[in-house]
Amino acid sequence: MTPRQLARRARTVLRTSGDPRVALGQKKFFKSWERISLYGLKTPDVKRIERDLYQGVRKSWRYPEALSFCDLLMRDPHLESKAVGLLLLERYHRRFEEGLLETAQGWLEGGLCDNWAATDDLATGVLWRLLEKFEDLAGPFEAWHDSPNLWLRRASVVVFVKSAGKGKHQDRAYRIVTALLPDAHDLIHKACGWLLREAGKADARRLEQYLLQHGPSVPRTTVRYAIERFPEAKRRKLLERTR
């Protein structure tokens, strides 16, 4: 089966499995200006559909077919289609090539990840795997923080979330957050708070010192996300001392 044939099958299964009531509830998690198209499937159902599709090509496909399949579904406006494409592509992470960075940047700049969910799926799945395989791509990923494109800036943060939680790329994580402190967009504030929270899992003292050092320059949303894992008393203290 070709990537185009499987993409057609994926769209058919997703469309016939969707529930408009679920889609209506899911839209509440997005900004009114985010262009969201939803079939109305919950995450376990999306993963099940992807797993069934993968079983049909598991023995015959290699990385190029998976990448072509993902590219086709990234061009579908529905969030679930993008998720299926990314999930299947991630299965081939051992065969990833460095050129995937350029492809992913094209998806982000081309408006194919024009909401926080698609951007985060790309960053925490495919791009994180790419970073794990090619550590030298950390620099190019970090450089995205300076882009005028919102989704590239968010991806520059989120791609390091899993690594920071494992104690890796800590200096880079704090450097990116610091560079983005003046950013006015709340989706960047939330992403930075998420990254700081994960970095704090590996070194809570460093996170606390960072928040105290930068104080009022850290957006309040970022602070609240960053301190979620601290004890309640310490959370209250940090909220007060960073005002």
Share of the chain above pLDDT 70, in %: 100
Instruction: State residue 78 phi and psi, 5-degree precision.
Output: -80, 135
Q: 160-210, pLDDT tens digit by residue? A: 999 999 999 999 999 999 999 999 999 999 999 999 999 999 999 999 999
CA separation for the pair 138, 108 (Å, rounded): 17
The set of residues, in sequence order, having a beta carbon less than 8 Å from that of 219 and lying 6+ positions away, is 181, 186, 189, 192
Containing domain of residue 178, as a range?
116-243
Is residue 53 in a domain?
yes
Q: Are residues 137 and 66 in the same domain?
A: no
How big is the chain, counted in residues? 243
Cβ atoms of 225 and 190 within 8 Å: the answer is: yes
What's the pLDDT score for residue 229? 95
Q: Are residues 182 and 228 in the same domain?
A: yes
Mean pLDDT of 137-161: 98
Report the range of poorest mean pLDDT among 30-34, 35-39, 90-94, 133-137.
30-34
CA separation for the pair 126, 100 (Å, rounded): 9
In 60-217, where does DSSP find H-type helix?
Answer: 63-74, 79-90, 100-109, 116-121, 128-133, 138-143, 150-158, 161-165, 170-180, 186-202, 204-214
Q: Are residues 221 and 131 in the same domain?
A: yes
Number of domains in the chain: 2
Is residue 165 in a domain?
yes
Question: The tokens of 155 are what?
Answer: 């991806």
**168: alpha, beta or left, given left = phi > 0 and alpha = psi -120 to 50?**
beta
Is residue 107 in a domain?
no
CATH number at residue 154: 1.25.10.90
